[in-house]
Structure 1
Amino acid sequence: MIPASELVDGFRSGTFDPVDALEASLQAVRDHDEQVNATVLIDEGAGRKAAEASAARWSAGTPLSPADGVPVTIKDIILTRGWPTLRGSKLVQEDVAWDEDSPATARLRESGAVIFGKNTTPEFGWKGVTDSIRHGVTRNPWDPSKAAGGSSGGAAAATALGMGSWSVGTDGGGSVRIPGSFSGIVALKPTYGQVPVWPASAYGTLSHIGPMTRTVRDCALLLDVLAQPDSRDWSTLPAPATSYVAGLDGGVGGLRIAFSPDLGYGHNDPEVERAVRTAVDSLTDAGAVVEEVSLDLEDPAAAFHVLWFSGAAKVLKAYGPDALDQVDPGLAQAVREFGLEATAADFLDATAVRMALGERMGELHQTYDVLVTPTMPIPAFTAGQPAPDGWPSQLWTSWTPYTYPFNMTQQPALTLPCGFTDDGLPIGLQIVGPRHADALVLRAGQAYERATDWHTRRPPMLNHD
C-alpha cells in the first residue's frame, strides 16, 4: 500500500525494485479479489516481463519516466494491445485481442509503467454501480456487502486494496468519482480533451478518461503520464506546459472557494453533510476564503439522459437488432425510454441545456477559483442493487446529482476522501474548477489532503494481511 511516488523513491534508492512492487500487487489480487471482484484479467507473465525490464532500467540509472515500474491496472473499456476488451458485455467476443492500444494505455507503456490486468465494469460502462451479466457484482473494499460504485468500480476497488498502485478509469457521468467516493480513493475527471480518447466514445464529449489513485500526488503523477496529445483524438488538447506535480504544494492561501452543499437540487445523508462541512472548515483553516453559495441550479438530468442514452443506443445498434434482448435489463429499459425515442430536436435541446449550464459555471468562476460539493449525497448501499433500498427511482442518475453536471460542462472535478460514516463507509469531497484548471483543482485537493489523514486509512480486510 505504498503510494506510487514513494515506490519510485524506493526504486531510485535500490530499497526495492519494480519486481517487488508487482509481486505485492499480485499478492493483493490473490488475497482479496475473490471478495470484491475487481479484475477480469490478470496477466502475470506480461507483468513480470515489464517489471524485470523496468528493474534493469532503474539499476542502470535510465528510467523512462517518474512512473517507470509502477504497477497499474486498466478499466476493461480501454483498449489494451494483445488482450481482449470485453466491456462487461456478452455481446463482445472473448477471443478477439486488440492489436492497438488506446492512448492512455500507450502512454503508460511509454512511461515504463507495469500493466498487468484489467478491471471490471458494468455493461459498456452505462451506470453508477459495477455489476454485469458477464462478470457479476463488484463489491466495496470497505464492506463487501456494499457497492463499489461505478462504472469504474473495479478500478476503484483494486486501487483501494493495493492491486496495483493506481488504475485508469473512464468517466461519462461520474464513473471515476462515484466509485472513488464509495471506495475511499482519489479520482480525477480531467478537463475534456486533456487525456485523449480513442476509439471515439459513443457517449461523445461527455466521456473522459481519468486517473484513480490513493493520494493526490499520485493522481498528479499519473495525469502527467496520461495528459499527452494523440493524433487519433481530434479533440485532444496540447500537452501541459509544466508537470502537474510541480505546483502541487502551493496551498490554498487566499484561494476563493464557493461551497455548495447541494447545487440547489440535491439532498444529502446527514453523515455526508456533516463530513463535507467539516472538510470545508479545514480548507478555511488552511487559508482559503470560503463562501457558501446558493446556486439554485435546475437538475440537468433530463437533458443528460438524452445525451447519454442516445449514445448507449448507438453502442448497442452495432451489435444487431436483438442486442436489447441480450443486455442488462436496466440498460435496455433506459435505452428504450430515453435513447431510441430521442429526436434530433431533443438532442439539440439537451445541448442547449448543456451550454447554459456551462455558461452558468463560467460565470461562477469569475468570482470563485473552485467550487466544492459533496461527491455523493449518500454512502455506498447494498451491492447488486441499482439504487438504495426504498429509493424513488432505480436510475443511477437519481442518486448521483453532483457528478454528471460536470461532464456536461467538461470541467475538471476531483474526489478525495473526507471522512467515514458511523458504519465505516467512505465519504467523498468533490473539488471542481474551471475548464483547463486541473492543476489548481489538484493543488486544492493536496492542501486538504495534507491537513487530514483520511487518505491513510486502510480497508478493514487489509488489516488481516
Structure 2
Amino acid sequence: MSEPTRLTELSAVRLVEGYRKGEFSPVEVARAALERAERVQPDVNAFVRIDTESALVRARESEGRWRRGEPAGAVDGVPVTVKDILLMRGGPTLKGSRTISASAEGSWDEDAPSVARLREQGAVFLGKTTTPEFGWKGVTDSPLSGVTRNPYDLSRTAGGSSGGAAAAVALGAGPLALGTDGGGSVRIPAAFCGVFGLKPTYGRVPLYPASAFGTLAHVGPLTRDAADAALMLDVISGPDARDWSGLGPASGSFTDALAGGVRGLRVAYSASLGGQVAVQPGVARAVRRAMEGLAGLGAHVGEADPDFSDPVEAFHTLWFSGAARVTQRLGPRQREVLDPGLREIRELGARLSALDYLAAVDVRMDLGRRMGAFHERYDVLVTPSLPVTAFEAGVEVPGGSGYRRWTGWTPFTYPFNLTQQPAASVPVGVDGGGLPVGVQVVAARHRDDLVLRVGHALYEAGVAGVVPPRL
C-alpha cells in the first residue's frame, strides 16, 4: 500500500483513515506526493515553488502526533498546495507578477486565514501553485512563471486562475489545494482538469489581505471529490478576525451534511441559460447524462432557466476596476512588464467613474434578488460549468471563437460571483476527445451544504469522476 503511485491516488479522507489505522505514515505520503510533484512539474508547470524540506519536517511532526494518538486536527498529515495568491509564511507570495519583489514585498511571515487554519490542523504544505498575474484571467500563464498545461493534453490549458492548483490535484501532487475564485477561477480549472472545485458562499472562508477585486473574490478548495472538499471546508471556514466580511462559524459540519442524498430535491437544469450560451455537443451530452443520473437518484429534475440576462458588462466594470486598483501603485516601467491583457483592462478600469461602479452594483443587487426568488422554487440550479472543454495553452480565448476576453467563454461562472452564491464544478465525464467536462451546481447563499451534498451523491452513484491523467 505504500508504493508511491498508489499513495498519490488516495483521497484526503482515505489518508486520514489510513493514518488512524497505521496503514501508512504522513512521511510516506509526503514523500510520494513530493516525488509526483517533481516528476510532473517539467511537463505541466503547476508549481512556482515546491517546499520539499519544510514539507518533510511537517510530515515528521505529524507522524509523531499520529503515533501518540494525538492528531492536531481533521487534516493532520494531509498534503496540501496553496495558490500563489494567498499568503503562506516561510516563503514569498509573488502572485505571478514580476512587479513584486521576493525580498521586499513577498510577505514571508504571515499566513492567509485559510492557510492558518490548515496549519493549525497539521496539514503538510507541498508548495505554492501557479496563477496568472494577480489572478486576473480564466487561464493560467504569467510573465513570471510561464504557461501551466492541462494534465490530459499538454497542448491545452489547465484553465485558471487556479490552474496550478487543479493540475496538481489531478496529477496526484496532493489531494487538497487552496484556490481563489473571482469569476470562476476555482470552477474553470476544476472543469478542465477533471477535479472537484467549490466556490463557497462569500465570506464562508475568510480572506486576508482583502482582494483588490472586492467581494467578487472567494477562497475555495480544489479536491479529488466532494467528500474531500467538505473535509477541507470544515477546516478553512473557521473564523478570522482579520476579515471584516467573514460569516463567522458555520452552523454545522459540512462533512456530516453529505449523507442527506438528493431524493426529493428540486433541481433546475439550465442547459444554455435560456439559449444565451452556445454549448459544445460533447459538453451538452455529458451534462445531460449527469442530469439523468440525478433523476435516477430521486431528485425532481426539470428544465428551467434563471431569470436574468448576461451581466457581463456589470462584471467587467467591477473586474476592470479591481485590475486598476491592484496595479495602482505601479510606476510606468513596472506597468510595461505586466501581462499585456492585464495592462489593457487596468487602463479601461482606470477610466471608470464611481457612478459606473455603483451602476454595476445595482445590476449585481438585482441579480441577487432574482436568484433569491429562483431558489424559493428550486433547491439547486445545474448548468454546464463551461460551454467548452480545454483549448490551446497560452492564449486567453479559444482560437477562432471571436471572444475578446476570457469572460466570453465563461458565461456560466461569473454571474454567481456577482450573487455570492455557493457553486461547484463536478467532473461528469469527457468529450469525444477525452477532455474532462464539468457540471456546475449552484445553491442559494449559505447553502454550501446542498452543493456538496449533490456533488457527493453524484460521486457515490458513479456519475461523477473521470479517469485520472497518466503523465
State TM-score, norm by structure 1: 0.97
Q: Deviations over 1:67-94 (max 9, x none)?
A: 1000011000000112100000000002
1:104 and 2:114 matched: yes
Q: Any gaps of 5 or more consecutive residues in structure 1?
A: none
- The equivalent residue for 2:93 is 85
Aligned equivalents of 2:347, 2:171: Cα separation in 1: 37
Q: Deviations over 1:329-356 (max 9, x none)?
A: 011112223x011111100110011011
For the residue of structure 1 that corresponds to 2:257, the secondary structure is coil
In the other structure, the counterpart of 1:61 is: 69
- 1:84-233 equivalence runs, <5 A: 84-95=92-103, 96-233=106-243
Residue 440 of structure 2 corresponds to residue 420 of structure 1: no
Aligned counterpart, 1:312:
323
Q: Counterpart of 2:383 in 1: which secondary structure?
A: strand
What's 1:385 paired with?
395
Amino acid at match of 2:344: Q
Q: Which residue of 1 aligns with 2:308?
A: 297
Partner residue, 1:326: 337
SS of equivalent residue, structure 1 residue 58 = helix
Q: Name the residue aligned to 1:52.
A: 60
Cα distance between partner residues in 1 of 2:375 and 2:428: 24
1:8 positional shift: 0.6
Q: For 2:251 and 2:422, locate their aligned partners in 1 and report how far apart those are by CA, in whole Å.
A: 17
In the other structure, the counterpart of 1:276 is 287
Give the deviation of 1:124 after TM superposition. 0.3
Letter in 2 for 1:335: R
| Distance across 2 between alignment mates of 1:310 and 1:335 | 7
Structure 2 CA distance for aligned equivalents of residues 413 and 107 of structure 1: 22
Structure 2 residue 375 is matched with structure 1 residue 365: yes
Q: Write the distance in 2 (CA, Å) between the matches of 1:218 and 1:67.
A: 10
Query: Is the 1:316–1:323 Cα contact (8 Å) retained in structure 2?
Result: no
Q: Residues 202 and 97 (structure 1 numbering): CA distance in 2 closer, same or farther, change over 3 Å?
A: closer
Partner Cα separation in structure 2 for residue 453 and residue 5 of structure 1 = 20
SS in 2 for 1:359: helix
CA displacement, residues 196-252 of structure 1 (integer Å, 9 cap, x when unaligned): 000011100000000110111000000011001100000111211221100202110
> Is 1:14 aligned to 2:22, yes or no?
yes
**1:140·1:148 contact (CA, 8 Å) conserved in 2?**
yes
Q: How far is the alpha carbon of 1:321 from its aligned partner? A: 4.0
Q: What residue number does 1:75 align with?
A: 83
User: 2: CA distance between counterparts of 1:248 and 1:356?
Assistant: 31
In the other structure, the counterpart of 2:51 is: 43
The one-character-per-residue Cα deviations of 1:340-396 (angstroms, maximum 9, x if unpaired) are: 111111001100110111011000000100100000000000101111110112300
Does 290-299 or 239-248 show the bigger shift? 290-299
Q: Provide the aligned C-alpha RMSD in A.
A: 1.0
State the match for 2:3 in structure 1: none
Question: How many Å separate the matches in 1 of 2:100 and 2:149?
Answer: 23
The secondary structure found in structure 2 opposite 1:378 is coil
Q: Identity of counterpart residues, as a percentage?
A: 53
1:355 aligns with 2:365: yes
Equivalent-residue separation in structure 2 for 1:241 and 1:135 (angstroms): 40
Deviations 1:138-194 (A, max 9, x none): 000111111000000000000100111110000000000000000000010000000
Deviations 1:39-63 (A, max 9, x none): 0011111101100000000000000
Q: Secondary structure at the match of 2:258?
A: coil
Instruction: Give distance in 1, aligned partners of 2:400 and 2:352.
Output: 29
Work out the CA distance in 2 between the residues paired with 1:327 and 1:250: 48
Name the structure 2 match of 1:253.
263
- Indicate conservation of the 8 Å contact 1:174/1:404, yes or no: yes
Aligned partners of 2:318 and 2:357 also within 8 Å: yes
AA paired with 1:269?
Answer: Q
What secondary structure is seen at the aligned counterpart in 2 of 1:317? coil
Q: Distance in 2 between matches of 1:429 and 1:20?
A: 34
* Secondary structure at the counterpart of residue 70 of structure 2: coil
Q: Which runs of 4+ in 1 moved over 3 A?
A: none
Name the structure 1 match of 2:251. Answer: 241
| Separation in 2, partners of 1:330, 1:121 | 14
Residue 6 of structure 1 and its aligned partner are, at CA, apart by 0.3
Q: How does 1:334-345 map to 2 (within 5 A)?
A: 334-337=345-348, 339-345=349-355
Shift of 1:97: 4.6
Aligned match of 2:33 in 22, 25, 28? Answer: 25
Alpha-carbon distance in structure 2 between the residues aligned to 1:241 and 1:344: 37
The worse-fitting range, judged by mean Cα deviation, of 25-34 and 85-94 is: 25-34
Q: Which runs of 5+ in 2 are unaligned?
A: 1-8
Q: In the alignment, does 2:448 pair up with 1:403?
A: no
Distance in 1, Cα, partners of 2:112 & 2:248: 18
Distance 2:305 2:227 in 1: 31
Q: Distance in 1 between matches of 2:123 and 2:109?
A: 19
Match of 2:6 in 1: none
Distance 1:22 1:35 in 2: 21
Alpha-carbon separation, structure 1, partners of 2:466 and 2:352? 46
Tell me how far apart the structure 1 counterparts of residues 199 and 334 of structure 2 sit (CA, whole Å).
30
Displacement of 1:455: 2.0
Q: With structure 2 as the length reference, what TM-score do the two structures score?
A: 0.96
Work out whether residues 364 and 418 of structure 2, in 8 Å CA contact, stay in contact via their aligned partners in 1: yes
Q: Is the 8 A contact 1:317 1:323 kept in 2?
A: no
What is the alpha-carbon distance in structure 2 between the residues aligned to residue 363 and residue 244 of structure 1? Answer: 25
Query: In terms of mean alpha carbon deviation, does 262-271 or 345-354 score higher?
Result: 262-271
